[in-house]
């Protein structure tokens, strides 16, 4: 595997681990997420990092396959360019997708 792709995958894994760490001392529920502005902003930032890393990977290797990668890149773009159209519910659903579908399929 290309060294740049490995680095970007590592960045994705770090961002996922960071999101997970936000819920160590708090319930990992939508209500807890919704009521904590700092956590919401930190999660959004990490989704931006995940989306940008996936975007770079897909650009470098268009045949790279990872579940929901295009949706996550699109969400990253929406957070950055259409921030006023992103709801807490959308971000929370992306968090669930990341942990249920993306994390288990990341190449190691």
Which residues are CB-contacts of 101 (< 8 A; sequence separation ≥ 6)? 67, 68
Per the CB < 8 A criterion, the answer to whether 13 and 21 are in contact is no
- What's the chain's average pLDDT? 87
pTM of model > 0.75: yes
Domain that holds residue 45: 3-105
Q: Highest mean pLDDT range out of 32-36, 82-86, 93-97?
A: 32-36
Determine the longest span between alpha carbons in the chain, in angstroms.
Answer: 41
Spatial distance between the Cα atoms of 18 and 61, rounded to a whole number of angstroms: 26
Q: How far is CA 1 from the centre of its chain?
A: 22
Residue with tokens 């990253």: 76
What is the number of domains present in the chain?
1
61-65, 81-85, 102-106 — which is least confidently predicted?
A: 102-106
**What is the pLDDT, as a whole number, of residue 103?**
66
């Amino acid at each position: 595997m290309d060294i740049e792709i490995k680095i970007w995958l590592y960045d994705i894994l770090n961002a996922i681990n960071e999101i997970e760490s936000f819920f160590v001392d708090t319930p990992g529920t939508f209500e807890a997420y919704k009521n904590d502005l700092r956590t919401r902003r930190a999660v959004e930032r990490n989704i931006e990092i995940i989306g940008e890393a996936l975007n770079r990977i897909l650009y470098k290797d268009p045949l790279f396959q990872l579940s929901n990668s295009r949706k996550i890149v699109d969400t990253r773009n929406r957070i950055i360019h259409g921030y006023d159209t992103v709801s807490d519910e959308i971000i929370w659903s992306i968090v669930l997708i990341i942990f249920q579908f993306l994390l288990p399929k990341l190449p190691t």
